Chains A and B, each alone.
Chain A
Amino acid sequence: MNAVSELATYNFAYLDEQTKRMIRRAILKAIAIPGYQVPFASREMPMPYGWGTGGVQVTASIIGPDDILKVIDQGADDTTNAVSIRAFFAKTANVETTTETTQATIVQTRHRIPETPLTSGQILVYQVPIPEPLRFLEPRETETRKMHALEDYGLMHVKLYEDISKNGHIATTYAYPVTVAGRYVMDPSPTPKFDNPKMHKSEALQLFGAGREKRIYAIPPHTDVVSLDFEDYPFEVQRFDQPCALCGATRVYLDEVVLDDRGGRMFVCSDTYYCETRRARKNSQAGGDSQ
């Protein structure tokens, strides 16, 4: 694709080898302590903070020439950010890219988990804005570190209690806190709580990178990930009243699309690959609802 001369201006996947080593060490530590936020020396990247630098650094440190990369943003392969990050790696690492979840070895994502279950050998890299689940309740970093170290998580349930007392139910619908491997409480990034069950005992490795906050954390494959709740207010995923308007899928996460200025809207699959695949199958078959 690119001339060798262009490649020569960047190290493989942009980061220098020492940086990649540093990040890999952080990743190993994170895998060894599931859910624990490992500080790392986040580098300057060619996109500003808040645009996925954490996820990009993690991907850059683990990607190899034989990897196949998929990048999604809110489930879609074709948003500006997904497109430019994919192009970034195509340029600096010369790797094959894809929109097919089943073909990818690395999936970098902003705020969604693909509907297609991931398998052993795949890695899901999440872009994380605020890694600390307790941050909005306890602004002091000194305190939150102690709370994690001492497993002092009463405050986390205080937040959920407040939700119930104000709204009659737990109103948190994204970035819903979870307990990993029965020990650390973790923020899964702003994925909808709908996706929380997908993290539980996934066959894939899940890595989380926060560039601005300089933290990496991880969930190794087959790890218990349990959403926080109360005995009398158990965790529930969102339910949608209608199936996807394009492919008819139920039990997937739907985006609301505004059609006009008269309140017209439709609900479509957030996972574009999933939706396309279903439509393609429907067109080539006799139809019917297959999952």
Chain B
Amino acid sequence: MSSPLIVSNVAKSFTMHLRGGLVIPVVSNVNFALENGQCKVLGGPSGTGKSSILKMLYGNYAIDEGQVLVQHHDDFVDLAAGDPRVVLAIRRDTIGYVSQFLRAVPRVSALDVVAEPLLQRGRSVEEAEARARDLFARLNLPEKLWHLPPATFSGGEQQRVNIARGFVTHHPILLLDEPTASLDQENRAVVIDLIREKKKSGTALLGIFHDQDVREAVADDIIDVTAFSAVQAA
């Protein structure tokens, strides 16, 4: 099977108890599947729930209805059930994520931030750090920053740490939330290359790209989120 992730009839809304129980629907009837070796893109204007969909696929947001079947090791597992240990196992081995914002942990160096996912998967410290350094070099992150904690980095520097962390492992599925938002032309090109390499190695990617150039360079398919969105496009 080349669809490692299948989303069927997923729906989500937020209930804001602090606003008197106001229910804000986010998405409904979400149906799509990812393909190995392809990069699909969630398209549509802001506010239509693209980021929420990514977060649901990572287990960061709860899923109210529907199923998300993920090929985890040799089985298909339903992420929508929300079992925390299942989600953690999937994050460790199957689904990677490049987030928009880096949550900086005090005192952990950029190198350690990026090496950590590999260490969790049993790689040696030497190998993990070597891969991290490679990616930093490709992303033009100055070497003097490698051993510093990222809390004081600029937006673009933090974003590159995020990207490195997402790309350093060999997760079969990779979710990308605006990975090029704070990057210059040169680094955007590096990210495009990284995405292409992942595609070649059979990874299934799902991304949100506001940058049209990047989108056009990597997207194999655009999934129009307005079809699922509670917010209808104008």
Please tell me whether chains A and B touch each other in their complex, using a CB distance cut-off of 8 A.
no
